[in-house]
Amino acid sequence: QSVLTQPPSASGTPGQRVTISCSGSSSNIGGNYVYWYQQFPGTAPKLLIYRNNQRPSGVPDRFSGSKSGTSASLAISGLRSEDEADYYCAAWDDSLSGWVFGGGTKLTVL
Amino acid sequence: EVQLLESGGGLVQPGGSLRLSCAASGFTFSSYAMSWVRQAPGKGLEWVSVISGSGSSTYYADSVKGRFTISRDNSKNTLYLQMNSLRAEDTAAYHCAKQASTVTAHFDYWGQGTLVTVSS
C-alpha cells in the first residue's frame, strides 16, 4: 500500500487531455513539493515535473502539474501514442523522514 | 553528461548479504545527495535510502531499516548499499538516483538499475 494514492490506470485517445491524480496527506504533499516521473518498460524513470508545476528542459509543454492542499495532478494535453507509459508522483514525507511514491498509473493511448 | 552505473546485483539466498555499487560521473559527486530506489518485478517505485553529499546524514525506509546501510566514497565518486538479512520481498531492480541538491530535493537523474533476486 503506497503512501501516495494514484489510480492504477488511465486512458485516452490521441489529441485528448487526460489527468492523473495523486492524493497524500499534510506530512507529504500538503507541506512539500510534488514531483512526477515517467517510466517506459525496462527503462529508468525520467523527471517530468518538479516543484509541483515546473518542467525540466526538454519536457513538452503538453505536460503540466498542479497541487492543491494534499492532492496533486498531472495533466497531459494533446495526447500522443508515445505518452503511453507509467507515471509516478513523489514527495518528501516529514513524518517518515523519507521519500514516498504513488503506486503508479499506467497510461494507455487508445 | 551525468552517468550513474549500478553493479553488484545477483542471486542470493534468504538471510544472505549483498553490496551494491553505483559509479557516478559527469557532476561534482560530493555536492549532491544520492538515493537508492527499488522496483520489484511488475511493481511500482519504492524509495530505500538517501545519503547527504558529505555522508553525514542518512535516512531509510522502514522496510529496510536495521538491515541496509547506505554509504558513499566521495574520493571514488561511488555510492554503496550494503544489504544484510535479505528477504524474498527485497527482490527488485535497485536504481541509484542523484538528488538535485540536498536529501529533500528531487531525483533528477537515475541509473538503469541492477537486479537483486533473493531466493533459495
* DSSP codes, chain B: --EEEEE--EEE-TT--EEEEEEEESS-GGGS-EEEEEE-TTS-EEEEEEE-SSS--EEE-TTTTTTEEEEEETTTTEEEEEE-S--GGG-EEEEEEEESSSTTSPEEEE---EEEEE--
Instruction: State whether residue B60 sits within 8 Å of chain A by CB.
Output: yes
In whole angstroms, how far apart are CA B55 and each of A6, A49, B36, B58, B59?
33, 27, 14, 7, 11
Nearest to A62 by CA among A18, A21, A109, A106: A18
The residue of chain A nearest to residue B60, with distances taken between CA atoms, is: A98
Query: What would the pLDDT profile of A86-110 be if each residue is shown by its tens digit?
Result: 999 999 999 999 999 999 999 999 9
Instruction: Show the cell assigned to B105.
Output: 530535493
Find chain A residues with C-beta within 8 A of B68's C-beta: none
Are residues A86 and A105 in contact, defined by beta-carbon separation less than 8 angstroms? yes
Find chain A residues with C-beta within 8 A of B102's C-beta: none
Instruction: State whether residue B62 sits within 8 Å of chain A by CB.
Output: yes
Instruction: State whether residue A32 sits within 8 Å of chain B by CB.
Output: yes
From the candidates B106, B107, B110, which should be mutated to test the interface with A, based on the most A CB atoms within 10 A?
A: B106
Instruction: Show the cell assigned to A60.
Output: 513538452
The residue type of A108 is T
CB contact under 8 Å between B112 and A44, yes or no, is yes
Give the span between the Cα atoms of A80 and A69, in whole angstroms.
30
pLDDT of residue A1: 84
User: Cell 498531472, residue?
Assistant: A74
From the candidates A99, A101, A106, which should be mutated to test the interface with B, based on the most B CB atoms within 10 A?
A: A99
User: Cell 515517467, residue?
Assistant: A38
Query: What would the pLDDT profile of B65-120 be if each residue is shown by its tens digit?
Result: 999 999 999 999 999 999 999 999 999 999 999 999 999 999 999 999 999 999 99
The residue of chain B nearest to residue A32, with distances taken between CA atoms, is: B104
Gap from B42 CA to chain A (nearest CA, Å): 9
Nearest to A34 by CA among B102, B101, A43, A25: A25
- Residue A46's pLDDT band, with cuts at 50, 70 and 90, is very high
Burial (0-12, 13-18, 19+ Cβ within 10 Å), A53: middle
In whole angstroms, how far apart are CA A35 and each of A55, A73, B37, B90?
10, 10, 15, 25
- The fraction of chain B above a pLDDT of 90, given in percent, is 98
Instruction: State whether residue A98 sits within 8 Å of chain B by CB.
Output: yes
